[in-house]
Structure 1
Amino acid sequence: VELSADGFAANELVSLWVTLPDGSVIGLGEIQADGDGAFSGTLFLPGQLPVGRHYFTAHGNSSDNTAITPFVLQYGNGLNVPGAQLAVDIGRGPQRSFLALSGEGFSANENVSFWLTQPNGAVLGLGEVNADGDGNLDVVLYLSEQLPVGTHYLSFRSNESNQGGFYKLFLEPGSSESDE
């Protein structure tokens, strides 16, 4: 991603960070503005970022000037992530059903975070699951009737080895039977 900004003090250090769709923040370090108070550069986005609306923030450390710009990270053609694999039976599924996930190749007892990006771009944090001592995990997710019908994206990121990926699921209307 090409990133440029101006309006900062001459030669000041500018802190950069990205805010994820779930509100968590990742620091991106600092860059020095030039003599005109501007900077530009190329920023690599790590593959473990979830799809959805993100915000870049640049904050002048001495001027307190701040610039914020949104961007939407969309589903791509998948990630080529060495190591961990997530085997998900995904395609079409109804609301009020269960989605079984299994994964392998994570670090022993590693936390793995999950997100679900809804058709409108809103992101739900689904929590974390610990891999077992061999780096394997099994998870079952309930696809509630409160989730909207349409295309969703399931994202995951391992919190130690930083492996990640995402998968596409089309959620169909569930059964109209009551759970009574």
Structure 2
Amino acid sequence: AFANSGDNDRAIRGFARATELAPGDSRLFVNLALAHIKGARFADAAIAFRQAAELDPANPLLLRDWAWLLATSPLADNPDNPPEALRLATRACELAGEDRPELLDSLAAAQASNGDFSSAHETATRAVEIATAKKFPSARIAQLQERQSRYARGLAYRDPPP
């Protein structure tokens, strides 16, 4: 509730306390990570995602979100993070199949973050094709196409600040 109320610091405190009370619930760590992202606390978000993944290592959506953070936030400037993002995004696709545009979107971002713009463009193209075939909302398809265009121009994608 706090995360939606605009009181992000309170949400972070609440999720941090919840992880202490239920340290085996990966969803709490994911919620803590998302609250940290909303507050532009990217390193703290990465720690929370790591803790969640230790509890639920086969969750493709968790791996996708963590990969996205490492590939598209200021954390991408750390040379260790783009390869980790690529590993996580690849694993997410392996777990869930390569017909999910949201997973392919993260994989393309990770590929671009590693400087592999040809693969990123190819992956983004697949994401657009699948999203179009699955009749995703036009705004979502436009986002995918915008990133696809960036990769074609040799540009990585970075999320705007929260």
TM-score above 0.5, yes or no? no
Which protein is bigger by CA-based radius of gyration?
1
TM-score normalised by the chain length of structure 1:
0.26
Larger fraction in strand: 1
Q: Which has the higher contact order (CA 8 A, sep 6+)?
A: 1
Larger fraction in helix: 2
TM-score normalised by the chain length of structure 2:
0.28
